[in-house]
Amino acid sequence: MRDPDFQTCLLAARSGDRRALERVLVRSRQDLRRYAEYHCAVNDVEDAVQESMLLVSRKIGGLRALEAYASWLFRIVKRECNRLKRATRYVLMEPCDLEEIDGPHAPAPSGLIHDVAAALAALPQHYREIILMRDLEGLTTAEIAETLALHPEAAKARLHRARSLARQYLSPEVPLDALPYTV
């Protein structure tokens, strides 16, 4: 990608030239695909490439240094691969009889499920919301920050405080009346 013609196309694409953007995307597609094949599940490669190209086409105007294009491109596709991996974790499987499951994949005791649900319910709304967005929906901190109209660092701090508070609720050593919010 050190080709001077490519650099010129990249500069024009960054300035809003649609034809130059098409040339940049066509030229970058094979690199994106190769990188996605290494980082994504086999079924997700093409989706990751397409989503990455769409994001590049939207955000290329914000690229500050042309020299950073390649690493920026690879970070985008790797993030997309990770997002797709997280999404597949939450795909529902065929229903089965929970009593037949044994070993490390056995369901958690109902008491633990109740305790976690109670701890989440006891959290203030803004803490509960951010934990659910991150840990249940699988959103990145950047996506959470955008959704909640927060600075990314503020979203990270809020998530940290929410998890710390949830840990306190679940800790057997801390009496409930000593916590700032009670169940």
**Alpha carbon of residue 12 to chain centroid:** 30
From its phi and psi, is residue 16 left (phi > 0), alpha (psi between -120 and 50) or beta?
Answer: left
More confident residue, 31 or 106: 31
More confident residue, 165 or 112: 165
Q: What's the burial of 165, exposed, middle or buried (CB within 10 Å: 0-12/13-18/19+)? A: buried
The reported pLDDT for the residue numbered 154 is 92
**Distance in angstroms (rounded) separating the CA atoms of residues 107 and 103:** 9
Predicted TM-score of the model (pTM): 0.47
> Do 107 and 158 touch, CB atoms closer than 8 A?
no
The reported pLDDT for the residue numbered 98 is 47
Whole-number CA gyration radius for the chain: 22
The reported pLDDT for the residue numbered 177 is 54
Provide CB contacts within 8 A for 27, sequence distance 6+: 1, 6, 9
Residue 128: φ, ψ to 5°: -60, -45
Angle between helices 152-170 and 141-148 (to 10 degrees): 100
Structural domains of the chain ordered from first start = 4-89 (1.10.1740.10), 109-178 (1.10.10.10)
The reported pLDDT for the residue numbered 92 is 43
**What is the mean predicted confidence (pLDDT) over 159-169?**
87
